[in-house]
Amino acid sequence: MQDTLKQALDNVALSSEEYFLIVSRLGREPNEVELGVLGTLWSEHCAYKHSRPLLKLLPTTGKGVLTRTGEENAGAVDIGDGLCLIMKIESHNHPSAVEPFQGAATGVGGIVRDIFALGGRPIALLNSLYFGPLAESHNRYLFDGVVRGIASYGNCLGIPNVGGGVFFSSSYSDNPLINVMCVGIANAGSITRSRGKASDVLILAGSATGRDGIYGASGLASRTFESEAEMRSTVQVGDPFMEKILMEACLKLVELGLVSGIQDLGAGGISTALAESASRSECGVMIDISRMRKREESMSPYEVLLSESQERMLLLVPPRNEEKVKSVFQDFGIPASSVGFLTSDSKFRVKEGEKVVAEVPVELLVNPPTYELKTRKKIAPERIDFLPDISPPEVEEVFMRVLSSPNLASRKWVFTQYDHQVGVNTVVPPGSDASCLRIKGGDKAIALTCDGNGRYCHLDPYVGGMMAVAEACRNLACVGAKAIAATDCLNLGNPEREEIYYQLKSVIRGIGRACRVLDIPVVSGNVSLYNEMKGRAIYPTPVVGVVGVARIKSICTPHFKSEGDQVYLLGKEKEGIDGSEYLELRWGKVGGKVSIDMGTEKKLCRLLLLLIRRGIIKSAHDVSEGGLVCTLAECCILGGIGFEGKWDIQSRIDSYLFGESPSRAVVSLSPDKTFELERMAQTYNIPLKRLGEVKGNRFILPFIDLPLARLSSSWYGGLEKALSAS
């Protein structure tokens, strides 16, 4: 193959086999512009070449689902009273590894555009962040930059950032994961689709087109790299103030009923937006790029079409409304230009003035090849059954290390940089199992959370996928909300490697299995592959965002409320430190075997909902990272009140205190309600054990007797202490 062609294919991440398939389908060789557009639309990031066949394993339909997964910018689900929630989660991993502030900021901007493209008012942001150990200065730099980027962009937009998670592991040292979720609200009957009709005018509104982000989809997010230097030129720069007025203008146009459809310009820029909108409309498209506003002189057609400049929206407008739409944009001070129209000939045609610079069938652009590969299961996880138990004198010291570790310590340093009260609808702020926002005009609230644990998936990607869904739904149940829909972001390494493809397939199977058992449709999502550097992949890390509906008057929180309240464990006492924070912190190992019984998980969630709605329990907190001892400690710290529990441990001490087996929750209640709790737990066949009593200002468990003030200081200060390490 000629060196120039090889370089051109490498730029757009196309294989030689794919190139010759294009030539065969097109009946000729594509020109440079056409090759760039095809490379973008056929990239892993846009085409999901390795994941699309597997995503069919997920349940995507169900009660109240208003959109078809993959056919719109985001997913929508009916919540009654004429309203619907619009939700999606996406990644901005590779850009954030290079420019953490702008990478994270533009990640927020992109996911917000996905929501208001459907006519939804964005009402909440969440994020799930993964970094290498904070002992390394570069990881501290990435962490600080990402948090500031998310805060800056979200706060400027006036959208509360209400939850998420942060996880640290050497697996993410070269590849941080920045997953951002947005939820919006809209009238259920007036969702705007990204499609129109032949002769609809194409209006491009927002920022001018520059050279930033070129090769973002086809290069940065669709192949592996050996160094950061290869990626740097592809990072975009955001303007949140432009996005704010662009959002308000688009929502105004939806309210006035002036547009047929809206499509945001994200990965692949205008080339992807045009091709996807034309395909969904069953039309062709003609665009004149000379009509587009440009930030830089002498931009080539190739650069214009592949630019991923931020804060741009494509609107599909009936000809009779063209001037009205432009007038609305003018009122908001937003530049808007008519750049083309939908056609009836199914061609993707690009002109620069009178010159045609690209002309290919829309069908060719949106129908890339997909791949189903052989899989190879990795070697079995490291055995841990030979490790000695913790001795009683060691328990307090190890407990304090685990409680104050960056993976367990309070995230207050993070979420206090976000404005989580803007809009004054936040009922339960960050720091609980799930956050809650009121729906004005009634007693209804929505609950939101996102969860994922790469360690579990590293040990068993199928079980880990199930556990991500289960924990998210358990978190919602602990605040009194019934889960109604999910969105997922699948972060993995190079899918062309058999062991990574095995992880991808297994993770999706696990998520699908859990969602079917819990009756939750996956209404939207994102796949982020090639998260590896120098052949070293991240842990397979699926992040699952779930929304639910609750009643404001019965929302539950995790902290203990009153002295004398009784504390119980709901769920089976299971042995095992497999995949736990304790195991890695004390022994430096990630090993063992994780497991979950989805039938038990479903019963536990139902029981928690009933206990909360009937007012039987005062608090609920799921047992997860850090195990039972850290769950109890958090309930005390958040409530500012102590706990006394004295019982015999019949199994291994470390397993009982620090094991992270799922399907468990700690609840508290007044003594006069214990009979009802016992009766209902028996009805649902959920094991129940009394742990102790809310009492005093000390934290007392077997082998632990510490002042609550010491726990509080360590937990609240753990993350900042790690950040200040030199």
Q: Which positions are catalytic? A: 45, 92
* Secondary structure element (H or E) that encloses residue 707, with its range: strand 704-707
Number of helical (H) and strand (E) elements in the chain, helices listed first: 24, 27
For residue 493, give the nearest of 460, 523, 464, 454 by alpha carbon: 454
Q: What is the 3-state secondary structure (H, E, C) of 91-139?
A: ECHHHHHHCHHHHHHHHHHHHHHHHHCCCCEEEEEEEEEEECCCCCHHH
Q: Is 344 exposed, middle or buried (0-12, 13-18, 19+ CB in 10 A)?
A: exposed
Spatial separation of the C-alpha atoms in residues 489 and 91, rounded to whole Å: 7
Spatial separation of the C-alpha atoms in residues 358 and 521, rounded to whole Å: 40
Q: Reduced to 3 DSSP states, what percent helix, strand and coil does the chain have, rounded to the nearest 5?
A: 40, 25, 35
Which residues face 549 on adjacent strands?
446, 482
Residue with tokens 């942060």: 166
β-strands 312-317, 201-206 pairing: antiparallel
Contact yes or no for 376/502 (Cβ under 8 A): yes
**Dihedral pair phi/psi, residue 133, rounded to 5°:** -55, 140
Distances (CA, A) of 535 to 10, 174, 175, 529, 696: 18, 11, 12, 13, 53
Grouping H, G, I as helix, E, B as strand and the rest as coil, residue 370 is: coil
The number of CA neighbours under 13 Å toward the Cβ of 247 is 25
* Secondary structure element (H or E) that encloses residue 444, with its range: strand 444-451
Residue 76 token pair: 């929508």
Distances (CA, A) of 110 to 442, 530, 605: 31, 20, 33
Contact yes or no for 274/287 (Cβ under 8 A): yes
Sheet holding 355-361, edge to edge: 261-264, 312-317, 201-206, 336-343, 284-288, 347-352, 355-361
Contacts of 229-234 with C-beta under 8 Å, sequence gap 24+, read 231/94, 231/95, 231/97, 231/98, 232/98, 232/99, 234/94, 234/95, 234/98, 234/308
Spatial separation of the C-alpha atoms in residues 294 and 286, rounded to whole Å: 19
Spatial separation of the C-alpha atoms in residues 207 and 242, rounded to whole Å: 7
